[in-house]
């Protein structure tokens, strides 16, 4: 008899089962970006494609890596996190695009998220709003290491995740509609040093912390709200950095195992 438990066997939305993914799972939104991410690997194969969820797995420099698209927004991203965790993924890295709200984050630069403002509703379904959405230290270190190795300009700091691309990020909607206090909300985040807007990181980081997983996020800046620039420039940079970070994390994990410790620290070698 079939089980009514959606956690049992093949996952309901992702159509994955244990063994289908290996290594860190990179999480773009658009299913069309999955093969773009996989272009950064030495080998790749598609293992599932259902609805907005497309999954490939492969290897880069001998290290395992996977990629699953999440669709747009935190509700669908949370489904991906749940079902990837069910099939054994322990590390997840959002790979996406964002809008910067600080002048120094230029179009084409990368933003590596250390934590996120939970201005979305999904994470509140899991835990009280005071619970922090923080990136795992090892993932942040791996992303910074990868960006430095590859020579890409990046910024490190806090992201704001919203449920709305328009009103929630202070953009005018249809027919010029503006949400109440939209400009003030953007200005408040800018004053607090928040770097960028996007739509998935807060839920990913919150769920990962609740479940004891490693997670982080790297996004390419497509727009800067201060300078008014908008260009889809540097699309592959976040994918390249995330893929290299998967290799770095693999080397971190090997170093931890060899040293017999649970947490990577600067005294351990990244050679592997």
pLDDT at 245: 98
| 200 part of the active site | no
| 214 part of the active site | no
Instruction: Tell me the β-bridge partners of 117.
Output: 160
Please give the Cα distance from 180 to 59 (Å, whole number): 48
Please give the Cα distance from 236 to 7 (Å, whole number): 33
Please give the Cα distance from 207 to 124 (Å, whole number): 10
pLDDT at 6: 57
Please give the Cα distance from 50 to 71 (Å, whole number): 11
Of the listed 57, 134, 225, 237, which one is catalytic? 225
- Which of 45, 37, 94, 48 is closest to 71 using CA atoms? 94
pLDDT at 1: 41
Please give the Cα distance from 35 to 56 (Å, whole number): 8
Angle value at C-alpha 21, between 17 and 25, nearest 5 degrees = 125
CATH of the domain at 113: 3.40.50.1580
What range does the domain containing 225 cover? 25-258
Please report whether residue 20 resides in a domain: no
Please give the Cα distance from 9 to 5 (Å, whole number): 9
- Which residues make Cβ contacts (< 8 Å) with residue 142, sequence separation at least 6? 216, 245, 246, 248, 249, 252
pLDDT at 2: 53
Instruction: Tell me the β-bridge partners of 224.
Output: 100, 229
Please report whether residue 267 resides in a domain: no
| 83 part of the active site | yes
Please give the Cα distance from 217 to 81 (Å, whole number): 13
Please report whether residue 17 resides in a domain: no
Of the listed 54, 60, 134, 171, which one is catalytic? 171
Of the listed 52, 83, 120, 200, which one is catalytic? 83
| 54 part of the active site | no
What is the token pair recorded at 214?
């490693």
Total structural domains within the chain: 1
Please report whether residue 4 resides in a domain: no
Query: How many other CB atoms are there within 10 angstroms of residue 64's CB atom?
Result: 16
Q: Which residue ranges in the chain fall short of pLDDT 70? A: 1-8, 272
């Amino acid at each position: 008899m079939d089980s009514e438990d959606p956690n049992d066997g093949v996952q309901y939305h992702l159509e994955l089962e244990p063994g289908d993914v290996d290594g860190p799972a990179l999480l773009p939104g658009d299913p069309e970006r999955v093969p773009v991410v996989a272009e950064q690997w030495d080998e790749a194969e598609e293992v599932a494609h259902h609805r907005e969820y497309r999954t490939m797995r492969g290897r880069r420099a001998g290290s395992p890596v996977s990629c699953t698209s999440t669709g747009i927004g935190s509700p669908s991203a949370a489904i991906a996190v749940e079902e990837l965790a069910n099939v054994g993924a322990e590390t997840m890295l959002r790979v996406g695009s964002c809008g910067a709200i600080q002048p120094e984050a230029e179009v084409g630069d990368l933003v590596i998220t250390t934590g996120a403002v939970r201005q979305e509703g999904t994470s509140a379904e899991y835990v009280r709003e005071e619970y922090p959405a923080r990136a795992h230290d090892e993932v942040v270190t791996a992303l910074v290491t990868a960006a430095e190795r590859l020579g890409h300009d990046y910024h490190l700091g806090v992201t704001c995740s919203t449920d709305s691309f328009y009103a929630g990020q202070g953009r005018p909607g249809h027919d010029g509609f503006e949400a109440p206090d939209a400009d003030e909300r953007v200005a408040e985040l800018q004053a607090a040093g928040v770097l960028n807007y996007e739509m998935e990181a807060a839920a990913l980081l919150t769920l990962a912390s609740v479940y004891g997983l490693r997670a982080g996020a790297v996004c390419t800046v497509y727009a800067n709200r201060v300078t008014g620039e908008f260009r889809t420039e540097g699309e592959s940079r976040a994918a390249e950095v995330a893929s290299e970070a998967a290799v770095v994390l693999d080397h971190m994990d090997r170093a931890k195992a060899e040293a017999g410790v649970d947490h990577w620290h600067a005294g351990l070698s990244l050679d592997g």
